[in-house]
Amino acid sequence: MKNKIKELRKTKGLRQEDLAAALGVSRQTIIAIENSKYNPTLELAMKLARYLDTTVEELFQLEV
């Protein structure tokens, strides 16, 4: 699954550490999600979308 997390995070001037701390996860989790190595739980996906002021559908795209 592709995502726009890195792009939106940088637009907002956030470091991976900042985003991780705000969401209560490790920096390694943010790295893994950004690199499409880990698909977050629905709860974490919703928290990411809310924090980055977007929707889950806009943040994540299924690869066909």
List, for residues 1-29, the tens digit of each pLDDT value: 899 999 999 999 999 999 999 999 999 99
The confidence score (pLDDT) of residue 9 equals: 97
Is pLDDT at 63 greater than 90 in this prediction?
Answer: no
* CA–CA separation, 10 and 52 (whole Å): 10
Using only C-alpha atoms, the chain has a radius of gyration, in whole angstroms, of: 10
CA distances from 10 to 5, 7, 34, 43, 52 (A): 8, 5, 12, 22, 10
As given in the structure block, the two tokens for residue 5 are 């997390």
CA distance 64 to 1: 9
